[in-house]
């Protein structure tokens, strides 16, 4: 048996052991077991420790995954049963032993009455006992070893089974594809009426859903919609014209505050009409884009990024400063921001806002698509591909970059105004750096330069944390991890643009490491 | 392109149409839960007459007390701490008609946006009957209109922005006293009791701290004193020597600080090396608590703070012991508001017990409108923070603050 | 659309833009000088205050510089902003803290027979081990960060690793909160390094304290920076790092293991961040899981200010930023709340007139 592959299995097992220990240290084992219990339909009181059985389910998943990974460490070779079993066994055993060591240490300390929560806040006595399956220290550790090994072997077997059946699956899939091509799908594709029907369905959903799914989802989806607006705007700047802007929130804040200050009775008592204020906010944001862009657009890459980040922070600090307290209400924020009115009627229920946001999104998608496909869009594209070449071929790069910044800012202004109006309140804390980062993330997670990608990205970035609410304190932890995983699995975004990649990777060569290892590891 | 224009026009029309036929507020998913009203015998009569209808908790489920708190982000310690305090209240509350209580703490990240999202989420859950929160004023303000629609009474442990109770909300109440009350008392104490004539006012740039510093500045000047410096620090930093050095050049006798413990500790620690070794640090209820003493050590001696927590009472001692046992850290080390969190939840649950009715079908019926009124008319509820009696706008702490001073490494009540 | 395009008359000749820029710069400079003279004439602050402000600026600038070097090293090699660098520093802060806590709990008998904690009996060892621990933990986390979150993205578009870094930053921050709790903690220093005490200088009638912790941090960061400079300039590893930064492909052909060098770069930058973290703890005391966020942003700013990718640039940028933050509001006579506004404005001005930072190479425009 290959010694190296066993070492690899052991190493991957140790990684899994570390993961289990980490999850135990942050108390996730208890919370997740509780979630499993809730999903299985059993109730769980506050502060109650879930049943041990659910912990086994949780550990079982991890163990199977461990075995699976250990078995399939090299995709090129064909698997044999003894090889798979041995690898899975080794991985499971090493993970189990590591976890046992941890369990014995922690359990032993706990048994001696040491309260570890002073330093590791989640290690209460209850959770440690839970981790030891309510058994004695030695017994609990042994159960961990045994269960981990068993599950890893199961995982290995599953991997083996799936490997064998994969050929079959592939064959079936092509068969199904061929069949569907020949029959209905082939006919449907390219039929103009189909797209009308699809549009109709989308229309129906857009009209009906806000009325049916209740205030909470209207709120969440409204936020998603506003982030779609922001994403479309930033996409023009980052995705199309290739300028990295990290202070996008500045324009969002300018839109929101312009709207707030012109419609609120306090502090200026300018109770403007909703639509006028909305237009003014958009224009103000676009103008600020020009003003900010004029001096700084000569900068490139990360220099531009940090300068715009600085602008975002400057705006936020000024908004909450004592200096402008009488003008912006300082940290308290502006309240009583007006809602939309039309023909003397006011539309301020959550359903109305949802509709307004949907309209704004549709309008923006339409505009963004037109710009993207126009000659302006091609100029942007050329700038983002290579600015020097673009300039050399006669594109006025400065002008187009400025245009991109102000148009992108206008979207942010619209988003900000709708945001302020919907919440009827806005304060400096709504315009923190994290907004810029979230918007940038959604553009890239969705796929740079791709409009459907941005819509999808907004759902992921603003919808996912809401869905993860059940995880309470753990939601951002999981969210951060998912962000990393998403980027690794799909670096080009969830729904990449169809055009060639907008940005040239810095490092075109694929695997310099492979060369290096053969040439000689140490210098 | 024609196609998409057509589509767009379609959508506009459809929405206007949809919007016109009766714009019923969609907060009512939680209100109209008397859908089980076919079996009239099961539903208590109060539900029919109640303005918001009844919350129905089916047998086997829990009566939920919601809370909007920052559980992640840089103010997580406040949210975690207050929700832990409230969780102890839930444990202490026992049951109502055989139904257990449950605390549902949701993460707002302390921002208005998060506050509104949480409010919408909690208002959608039919078994949430009351809200012990929210924690920060901005988040609270964004949440208020939503709870107003849904008829969920609020009892905030720590939203102190004065105008919150003047916005005409029926559901909003708070245990914390407002910045206006505290600032006035503090200015008076500084001027009359401690005899200072030249102070500097500092705040942390937040709504809470700035509100306090403003009131103190105005009141202290009105009393005849002089506020020689007024500055703000950036929250979250750990070195304020620059700001303090600039203030020191104006020789204030005391530094009034409006803000939270984290910045308060840094300020108290930095005063000596900034040339303010002779000035007195005077904090607010945000800087009170065990953490300040623990982290300032000798630098904190002689510092003042205000608090709504009266000196050691039996209820407080019991709570402190419970908290330590449950969470492994002393009460007050995470934030100065955990006691208020306990009380807010305790008041709400006491009121739920008053109004809840067991229906004929084994479900628990909680008339929402009656609960809102019951909370607003709370009177003489005695707990850790003393006597909780709500005014008709929802100010439930009518007593002024108690002033404390650090002596020999502990907060003791200062001369009245 | 075509009509819209024609209507935008923004084709100012390049020369006039340059002239406008120079005039604007001169005007701004004149304004600042007038304002500063104005403030100085009021003589609000004595020499003591100015000294205090400068010292506090230098100390914080030194820490910024150490963290900024981490950004710059990684940027120089991978052209990516390691957004999670601040969190690496946070882990280092915790590492040092636990060493101090452990030594504080151990009681030993000193030579004169009194009982004291190990921390006070052997402060040098304790401090050394705290730094060792903090730097090791931070270096390890830097190593794994690269391995898990960045290496699979080698060759992806430039912004993708940035998002991965943001994800990692969110993850680590929350992991820190969940592991160690949301409460703030405080370093218990050995008595010799007590916070707030130091050399007293009498200056214009009041005492200026040069704190031991501050001077210690400043000296240590200077030593580390010099050490790093020597490492990069004089050693084989440094040469390899520079080679990889120049051209990965050619470096690989020259027999350099590129992946290994990148890993080591992350280890070094992590170790420096860890050292900065422990210093942060020793000097400022208070910290929690969020401690890395603000210094991270500031240090990144400092790195760009100095010219990103340039190690002396990071040092200069860090010190410059620290001093501007501390002295800026006093010089201009405005609220200290606005110190970040001043810092960022200076950053913007510097970059407008020197688009690749104070010490940045002229080439970097093309490189980025």
pTM for the model = 0.86
**Among A307, A375, A487, whose Cβ lies nearest the Cβ of C1?**
A375
- Average pLDDT of the segment spanning A131-146: 89
Hey, is the C-beta of C246 within 8 angstroms of any chain B C-beta?
no
Rounded Cα distance, B74 and C173, in Å: 10
Q: How many helices (H) and strands (E) does chain A have?
A: 22, 4
Residue A266 pLDDT greater than 50, yes or no: yes
Answer whether B236 sits within 8 Å of C290, measured CB to CB: yes
Residue C146 pLDDT greater than 90, yes or no: yes
Q: Is A261 in contact with A254 (CB distance < 8 Å)?
A: no
Q: What pLDDT score does A507 carry?
A: 47
Rounded Cα distance, B243 and B360, in Å: 66
Q: What pLDDT score does A510 carry?
A: 42
Distance from CA of B326 to the nearest CA of C (A): 14
Hey, is the C-beta of C198 within 8 angstroms of any chain B C-beta?
yes
Answer whether C290 sits within 8 Å of B74, measured CB to CB: yes
Rounded Cα distance, C193 and C216, in Å: 9
Q: Cα separations (Å) of B55 from B127, B153, C245?
A: 6, 12, 65
State which residues of chain B have pLDDT below 50: 1, 21-39
Distance from CA of C222 to the nearest CA of B (A): 20
Q: What's the mean per-residue pLDDT of chain A?
A: 83
Q: What pLDDT score does A217 carry?
A: 86
**Among A333, A349, A366, whose Cβ lies nearest the Cβ of B4?**
A366
**Among A303, A399, A517, whose Cβ lies nearest the Cβ of C11?**
A399
Answer whether B77 sits within 8 Å of C183, measured CB to CB: yes
Rounded Cα distance, C287 and C300, in Å: 20
Q: What pLDDT score does C318 carry?
A: 93
Phi and psi at B199, nearest 5°, equal -125, 165
Answer whether A214 sits within 8 Å of B90, measured CB to CB: no
Window 353-372 of A: residues touching C by CB (8 A cutoff) are: 370-371
| Nearest CA among A255, A517, A278, A237 for reference residue A380 | A237
List of chain B residues whose C-beta atoms are within 8 Å of the C-beta of residue C293:
74, 236
Q: What pLDDT score does C277 carry?
A: 94
Distance from CA of C270 to the nearest CA of A (A): 19
Answer whether B242 sits within 8 Å of C57, measured CB to CB: yes
Confidence band, pLDDT 50/70/90 cuts, at residue C363: very low
Hey, is the C-beta of C104 within 8 angstroms of any chain A C-beta?
no
Answer whether A310 sits within 8 Å of C155, measured CB to CB: no
Hey, is the C-beta of C337 within 8 angstroms of any chain A C-beta?
yes
Q: Cα separations (Å) of B403 from B252, B308, C161?
A: 21, 9, 52
The pLDDT tens digits for C5-24 are 444 444 555 567 677 777 88
Answer whether B275 sits within 8 Å of C293, measured CB to CB: no
CA B202 to chain centroid, in Å, comes to: 22
**In chain C, which residue's Cα lies nearest the Cα of B203?**
C337
| Nearest CA among C90, C171, C68 for reference residue A487 | C171
Distance from CA of A396 to the nearest CA of C (A): 8
Q: Is A356 in contact with B28 (CB distance < 8 Å)?
A: no
Q: What pLDDT score does B145 carry?
A: 87
| Nearest CA among B47, B69, B61 for reference residue B151 | B47
List of chain C residues whose C-beta atoms are within 8 Å of the C-beta of residue A25:
179
Hey, is the C-beta of C152 within 8 angstroms of any chain B C-beta?
no
Confidence band, pLDDT 50/70/90 cuts, at residue C135: very high
Hey, is the C-beta of B138 within 8 angstroms of any chain A C-beta?
yes
Q: Which chains have 3 or more CB–CB distances shorter than 8 Å to chain C?
A: A, B
Q: What pLDDT score does B303 carry?
A: 92
Tell me which H or E stretch contains B200: strand B198-203
Window 172-211 of B: residues touching A by CB (8 A cutoff) are: 205-207, 210-211
Q: What pLDDT score does B39 carry?
A: 46
Whether the upstream peptide bond of residue B134 has omega within 30° of 0, thus cis, is yes
Rounded Cα distance, C242 and C263, in Å: 14
Answer whether B242 sits within 8 Å of C46, measured CB to CB: no
| Nearest CA among A482, A424, A489, A494 for reference residue A452 | A494
| List of E strands, B26-117 | 54-57, 63-69, 95-96, 99-107
Alpha-helical runs (H) found in A26-136: 28-39, 52-71, 81-111, 125-131
**Among B24, B26, B326, whose Cβ lies nearest the Cβ of A218?**
B26
Q: What pLDDT score does C12 carry?
A: 52
Q: Which chains have 3 or more CB–CB distances shorter than 8 Å to chain B?
A: A, C
Answer whether B11 sits within 8 Å of A215, measured CB to CB: no
Residue C115 pLDDT greater than 50, yes or no: yes
CA-derived radius of gyration, chain A? 28
**In chain B, which residue's Cα lies nearest the Cα of A352?**
B19
The pLDDT tens digits for A89-101 are 999 999 999 999 9
Q: Cα separations (Å) of C36 from B248, C49, C346?
A: 20, 16, 15
Q: Find the helix packing angle between C85-105 and C123-145, rounded to 10°.
A: 150
| Nearest CA among C313, C309, C274, C312 for reference residue C295 | C274
The pLDDT tens digits for A148-184 are 999 999 988 888 887 777 777 778 888 877 777 666 6
Phi and psi at A67, nearest 5°, equal -60, -40
**Helix, coil or strand: residue A122:** coil
Those residues whose C-beta lies under 8 Å from the C-beta of residue A198, and which sit 6 or more positions away, are: none
List of chain B residues whose C-beta atoms are within 8 Å of the C-beta of residue C285:
238, 269, 295
Mutant choice from B245, B270, B281, B324 vs C, greatest count of C C-beta within 10 A: B245
Residue B335, both tokens: 């934030």
Window 80-139 of B: residues touching C by CB (8 A cutoff) are: 80-81
Q: What pLDDT score does C128 carry?
A: 94
Q: What pLDDT score does B4 carry?
A: 60
Q: What's the mean per-residue pLDDT of chain C?
A: 85
DSSP 8-state code for residue B156: B
**Helix, coil or strand: residue C136:** helix
Window 199-218 of B: residues touching C by CB (8 A cutoff) are: 205
**In chain A, which residue's Cα lies nearest the Cα of B67?**
A472
Hey, is the C-beta of A501 within 8 angstroms of any chain C C-beta?
yes
Q: What pLDDT score does C273 carry?
A: 94
Rounded Cα distance, C239 and C229, in Å: 11
| Nearest CA among A20, A61, A24, A54 for reference residue A39 | A54
Q: Which of A79-93, A219-233, A462-476, B305-319 has the lowest mean pLDDT?
A: A462-476
Q: What pLDDT score does A509 carry?
A: 44
Window 231-290 of B: residues touching A by CB (8 A cutoff) are: 232
Q: What pLDDT score does A45 carry?
A: 60
**Among A203, A211, A430, whose Cβ lies nearest the Cβ of B112?**
A430
The pLDDT tens digits for C291-334 are 888 889 899 889 988 888 888 899 999 999 999 988 888 888 88
Rounded Cα distance, A176 and A188, in Å: 16
């Amino acid at each position: 048996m290959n010694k190296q592959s066993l070492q690899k299995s052991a190493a991957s097992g140790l990684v899994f052991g570390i993961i289990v220990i980490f999850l135990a240290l942050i108390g996730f084992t208890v919370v997740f077991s509780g979630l499993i219990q809730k999903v299985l339909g059993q109730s769980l009181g506050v502060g109650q420790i879930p049943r041990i059985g659910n912990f086994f389910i949780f550990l079982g998943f991890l163990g199977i995954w461990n075995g699976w990974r250990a078995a399939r460490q090299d995709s090129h070779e064909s698997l044999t049963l003894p090889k798979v079993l041995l690898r899975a066994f080794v991985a499971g055993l090493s993970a189990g032993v590591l976890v046992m060591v941890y369990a014995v240490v922690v359990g032993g300390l706990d048994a001696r009455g040491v309260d570890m929560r002073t330093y590791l806040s989640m290690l209460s006595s209850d959770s440690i006992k839970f981790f030891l399956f309510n058994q004695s220290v030695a017994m609990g550790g042994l159960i961990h070893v045994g269960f981990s090994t068993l599950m890893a072997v199961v995982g290995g077997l599953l991997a083996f089974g799936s490997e064998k059946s994969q050929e079959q699956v592939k064959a079936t899939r092509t068969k199904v594809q061929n069949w569907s091509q020949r029959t209905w799908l082939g006919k449907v594709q390219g039929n103009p009426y189909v797209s009308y029907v699809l549009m109709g369905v989308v229309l129906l959903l857009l009209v009906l859903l806000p009325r049916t799914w209740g205030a909470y989802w209207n709120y969440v989806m409204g936020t998603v919609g506003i982030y779609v607006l922001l994403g479309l705007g930033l996409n023009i700047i980052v995705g199309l014209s290739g300028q990295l802007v990290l202070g996008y929130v500045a324009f969002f804040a300018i839109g929101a505050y312009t709207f707030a200050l012109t419609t609120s009775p306090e502090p200026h008592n300018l109770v403007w009409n909703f639509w006028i204020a909305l237009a003014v906010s958009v224009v103000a944001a676009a103008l600020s884009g020009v003003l900010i862009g004029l001096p700084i657009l000569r900068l490139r890459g990360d220099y531009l990024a940090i300068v715009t980040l600085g602008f975002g922070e400057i705006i936020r600090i000024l908004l909450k400063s004592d200096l402008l307290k009488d003008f912006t209400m300082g940290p308290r924020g502006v309240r009583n921001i007006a809602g939309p009115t039309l023909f003397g009627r006011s539309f301020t229920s959550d359903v109305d806002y949802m509709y307004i946001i949907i309209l704004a999104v549709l309008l923006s998608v339409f505009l963004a698509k037109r710009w993207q496909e126009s000659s302006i869009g091609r100029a942007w594209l050329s700038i983002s591909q290579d600015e020097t070449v673009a300039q050399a071929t006669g594109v006025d790069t400065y002008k187009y970059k400025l245009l991109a910044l102000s148009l992108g800012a206008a979207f942010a202004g619209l988003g900000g105004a709708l945001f302020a109006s919907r919440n009827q309140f806005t304060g400096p804390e709504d315009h923190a750096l994290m907004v810029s980062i979230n918007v940038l993330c959604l553009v890239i997670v969705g796929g740079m330069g791709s409009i459907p990608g941005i819509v999808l990205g907004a759902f992921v970035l603003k919808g996912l944390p809401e869905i993860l609410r059940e995880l309470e304190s753990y939601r951002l932890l999981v969210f951060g991890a998912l962000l990393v995983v998403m980027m690794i699995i799909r670096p080009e975004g969830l729904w990449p643009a169809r055009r060639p990649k907008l940005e040239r990777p810095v490092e075109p060569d694929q695997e310099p490491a492979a060369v290096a290892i053969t040439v000689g590891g140490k210098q | 392109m024609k196609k998409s224009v057509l589509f767009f026009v379609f959508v506009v029309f459809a929405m206007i149409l949809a919007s016109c036929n009766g714009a019923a507020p969609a907060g009512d998913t939680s209100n109209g839960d008397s859908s089980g009203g076919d079996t009239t015998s099961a539903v208590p009569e109060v539900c029919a007459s109640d303005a918001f209808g009844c919350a129905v908790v089916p047998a086997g489920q829990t009566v939920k007390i919601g809370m909007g708190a920052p559980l992640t982000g840089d103010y997580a310690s406040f949210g975690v701490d207050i929700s832990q305090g409230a969780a102890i209240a839930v444990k202490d509350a026992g049951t109502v008609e055989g139904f257990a209580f449950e605390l549902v703490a949701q993460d707002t990240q302390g921002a208005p946006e998060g506050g509104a999202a949480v409010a919408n989420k909690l208002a959608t859950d039919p078994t949430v009957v009351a809200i012990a929160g929210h924690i920060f004023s901005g988040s609270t303000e964004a949440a208020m209109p939503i709870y107003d629609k849904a008829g969920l009474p609020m009892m905030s442990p720590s939203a102190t922005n004065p105008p919150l109770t003047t916005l005409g909300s029926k559901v909003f109440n708070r245990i914390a006293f407002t910045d206006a009350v505290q600032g006035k008392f503090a200015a008076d104490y500084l001027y009359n009791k401690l005899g200072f004539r030249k102070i500097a006012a500092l705040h942390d740039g937040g709504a809470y701290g700035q509100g306090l510093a403003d009131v103190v500045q105005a009141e202290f000047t009105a009393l005849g004193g002089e506020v020689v410096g007024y500055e703000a620090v950036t929250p979250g930093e750990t070195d304020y020597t620059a700001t303090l050095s600039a203030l020191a050049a104006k020789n204030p006798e005391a530094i009034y600080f409006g803000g939270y413990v984290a910045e308060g500790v840094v300020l108290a620690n930095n005063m000596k090396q900034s040339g303010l070794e002779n000035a007195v640090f005077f904090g607010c209820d945000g800087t009170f608590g065990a953490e300040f003493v623990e982290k300032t050590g000798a630098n904190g001696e002689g510092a003042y703070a205000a608090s709504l927590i009266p000196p050691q009472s039996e209820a407080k001692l019991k709570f402190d012991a419970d908290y330590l046992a449950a969470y492994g850290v002393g009460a007050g080390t995470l934030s100065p508001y955990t006691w208020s969190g306990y009380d807010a939840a305790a008041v709400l649950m006491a009121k739920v017990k008053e109004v809840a009715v067991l229906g004929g079908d084994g479900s628990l019926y909680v008339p929402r409108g009656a609960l809102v009124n019951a909370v607003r008319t709370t009177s003489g509820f005695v707990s850790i923070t003393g006597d909780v009696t709500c005014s008709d706008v929802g100010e439930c702490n009518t007593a002024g603050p108690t002033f404390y001073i650090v002596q020999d490494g502990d907060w003791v009540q200062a001369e009245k | 659309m075509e009509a819209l395009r024609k209507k935008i008359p923004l084709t100012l000749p390049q020369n006039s833009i340059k002239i406008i820029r120079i005039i604007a710069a001169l005007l701004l400079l004149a304004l600042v000088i007038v304002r500063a003279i104005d403030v100085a004439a009021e003589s609000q602050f004595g020499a003591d205050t100015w000294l205090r402000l400068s010292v506090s600026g230098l100390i914080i600038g030194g820490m910024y510089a150490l963290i900024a070097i981490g950004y710059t090293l990684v940027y120089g090699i991978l052209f990516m902003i390691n957004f999670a660098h601040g969190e690496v520093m946070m882990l280092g802060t915790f590492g040092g803290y636990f060493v101090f806590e452990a030594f504080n709990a151990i009681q030993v008998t000193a030579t004169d027979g009194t009982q004291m904690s190990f921390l006070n009996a052997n402060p040098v060892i304790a401090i050394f081990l705290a730094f060792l621990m903090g730097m090791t933990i931070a270096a390890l986390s830097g190593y794994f960060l690269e391995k898990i979150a960045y290496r699979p993205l080698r060759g992806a578009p430039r912004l993708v690793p940035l998002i991965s870094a943001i994800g990692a930053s969110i993850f680590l921050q929350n992991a820190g909160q969940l592991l160690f709790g949301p409460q703030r903690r405080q370093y218990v220093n050995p008595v010799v390094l007590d916070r707030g005490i130091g050399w007293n200088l009498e200056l214009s009638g009041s005492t200026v304290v040069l704190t031991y912790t501050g001077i210690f941090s400043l000296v240590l960061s200077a030593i580390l920076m010099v050490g790093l400079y020597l490492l990069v300039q004089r050693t084989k590893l440094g040469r390899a790092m520079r080679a990889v930064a120049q051209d990965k492909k050619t470096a690989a052909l020259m027999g350099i293991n590129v992946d290994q060098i990148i890993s080591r770069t992350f280890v070094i930058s992590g170790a420096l961040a860890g050292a900065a973290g422990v210093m942060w703890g020793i000097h400022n005391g208070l910290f929690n899981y969020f401690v890395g966020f603000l210094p991270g942003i500031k240090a990144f700013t400092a790195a760009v200010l100095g010219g990103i990718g340039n190690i002396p640039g990071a040092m200069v940028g860090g010190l410059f930023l620290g001093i501007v933050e501390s002295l800026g509001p006093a010089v201009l006579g405005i609220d200290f709340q606005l110190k970040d506004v001043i810092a960022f404005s200076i950053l913007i001005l510097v970059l407008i007139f020197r688009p690749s930072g104070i010490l940045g190479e002229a080439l970097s425009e093309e490189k980025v």
